[in-house]
């Protein structure tokens, strides 16, 4: 990176720098390269394996705001190869099965099979790989994970999450995408302690780089934000994304837990590049209380009603 980023020289930059890059045209690789430069991303070690983890939580493509745009992943591959000279390195795109999603279908339906063919990279189902059991204790809760060994040994682990609201945690982005790396398909089992589980897995798996697909983000509906958020620390990225979405990060429980577990420190982070407020004004804010409790309240009322009246609740509404 040359001399200055925004108004700040490289020497002045704090460790946890988060970069905001506006995607202004179709030349995505240029914007990806710019987002790497913003955070002064450098590779100072030998890299023989790269794993890129997009968010493919279900079968809806990136235009719905649900999943990572394969064009972004393609551009990341291009930049890593061309700018960092990693053209001979084996690159894997990895995702694990989830309670409702099977990776084999998601890769095909979301255009990742085509991408892998075009870019000569490998697709990996983390749920089918060798795993190792890891245990952590978060807020006194013992949590056990099946962690794919390839992620622990990758020379370069790139986290490419999507920026979304989520009723259980208010927002889902960088830290939650790492939760998606757990090999166990039935991740619903973690949901009673979801926030602790998100923080716990992030104490084990540490991506070297995070670049958020904020080109189309998800509020109550998808919204074109044309934004890339880059950072070395997933915690700092999420802290920034929370602000963009109009939330006070201190009031997001999993971020508070992550801070307590020393995954990051907002006092040690800085946001550079584009003006955060411009994106904040663009994102349709959803009230956190409404997001977290509306569905639960509806279901509770419905259950009470059905008990009194002896009416039927369709299984669809129960889930």
Partner 1 sequence: MYNCKHIEGVSVTAVADQSKKLLSKAEGFGVKKLYTDYHDLLKYPDSLDAVIISLPNFLHRESVEVALEAGLNVFVEKPLAPTVEECEKIVKCVEKSGRKLMVGHSMRFLDAVERMKDQVADGHIGSLETITAEEILNGPFSHGAVPSPIPEWWFNPETTGGGVLLDLGYHMIDLFRFFAGDADVISSCLDHKMNLPMEDAAILLLRSKSSNTKGIINVGWYQQSIFPSFNFRFIAHGNAGFISTDQFTPKNMYVHAIKEGTKNLFRKATGRKIRALSYTYYYEQYIKEMGLFFECINKDLEPPVTALDGLRTVEVISKAYLMSSP
Residues near partner 1 (CB under 8 A) are 58-61, 64, 66, 97-102, 105, 108-111, 113, 185, 305, 308-319
Kindly state the smallest distance separating residue 203's Cβ from partner 1, in Å.
28
The structure tokens 């639960």 sit at 296
Quickly list H helices, 127-193.
Answer: 149-153, 174-179
Given the complex with partner 1, which of 183 and 237 has the nearer CB atom? 183
Given the complex with partner 1, which of 105 and 280 has the nearer CB atom? 105
Kindly state the smallest distance separating residue 127's Cβ from partner 1, in Å.
12
Distance of CA 174 to the CA centre of its chain: 3
DSSP label at 12? G
| Longest distance between any two alpha carbons in the chain, whole Å | 71
Angle at 162 between CA 158 and CA 164, to 5 degrees: 150
Kindly state the smallest distance separating residue 216's Cβ from partner 1, in Å.
13
Given the complex with partner 1, which of 38 and 57 has the nearer CB atom? 57
Given the complex with partner 1, which of 8 and 317 has the nearer CB atom? 317
Kindly state the smallest distance separating residue 74's Cβ from partner 1, in Å.
16
Contact 255, 238 (CB under 8 A): yes
Given the complex with partner 1, which of 3 and 315 has the nearer CB atom? 315
Element (H, E) at 145: strand 141-148
Element (H, E) at 253: helix 253-260
What angle do helix axes 28-38 and 70-82 make, rounded to 10 degrees?
70
Kindly state the smallest distance separating residue 31's Cβ from partner 1, in Å.
26
Kindly state the smallest distance separating residue 59's Cβ from partner 1, in Å.
5
Q: In whole angstroms, what is the distance from residue 74 CA to residue 211 CA? A: 13
């Amino acid at each position: 990176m040359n001399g200055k980023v925004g108004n700040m020289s490289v020497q002045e930059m704090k460790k946890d720098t988060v970069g905001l890059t506006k995607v202004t045209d179709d030349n995505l690789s240029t914007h990806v390269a710019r987002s790497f430069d913003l955070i002064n991303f450098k590779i100072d070690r030998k890299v023989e394996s790269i794993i890129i983890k997009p968010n493919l939580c279900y079968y809806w493509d990136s235009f719905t705001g649900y999943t990572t745009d394969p064009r972004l992943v393609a551009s990341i591959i291009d930049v890593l190869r061309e700018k960092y000279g990693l053209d001979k390195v084996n690159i894997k795109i990895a995702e694990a099965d989830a309670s409702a999603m099977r990776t084999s279908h998601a890769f095909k339906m979301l255009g990742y099979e085509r991408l892998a063919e075009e870019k000569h990279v490998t697709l990996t189902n983390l749920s089918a790989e060798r795993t190792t059991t890891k245990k952590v204790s978060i807020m006194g809760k013992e949590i056990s994970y099946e962690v794919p060994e390839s992620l622990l040994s990758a020379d370069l682990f790139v986290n490419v999450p999507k920026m979304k609201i989520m009723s259980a945690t208010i927002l889902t982005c960088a830290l939650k995408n790492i939760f998606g790396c757990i090999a166990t398909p039935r991740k619903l089992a973690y949901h009673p302690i979801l926030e602790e589980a998100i923080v716990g897995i992030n104490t084990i798996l540490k991506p070297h780089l995070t670049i958020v697909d904020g080109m189309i983000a998800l509020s109550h509906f998808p919204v074109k934000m044309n934004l890339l958020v880059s950072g070395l620390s997933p915690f700092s990225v999420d802290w920034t994304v929370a602000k963009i979405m109009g939330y006070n990060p201190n009031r997001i429980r999993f971020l508070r837990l992550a801070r307590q577990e020393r995954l990051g420190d907002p006092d040690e982070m800085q946001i550079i590049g584009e003006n955060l407020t411009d994106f904040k004004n663009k994102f349709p804010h959803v009230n956190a209380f409404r997001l977290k409790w509306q569905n639960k309240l509806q279901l509770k009322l419905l259950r009470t009603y059905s008990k009194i009246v002896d009416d039927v609740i369709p299984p669809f509404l129960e889930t």
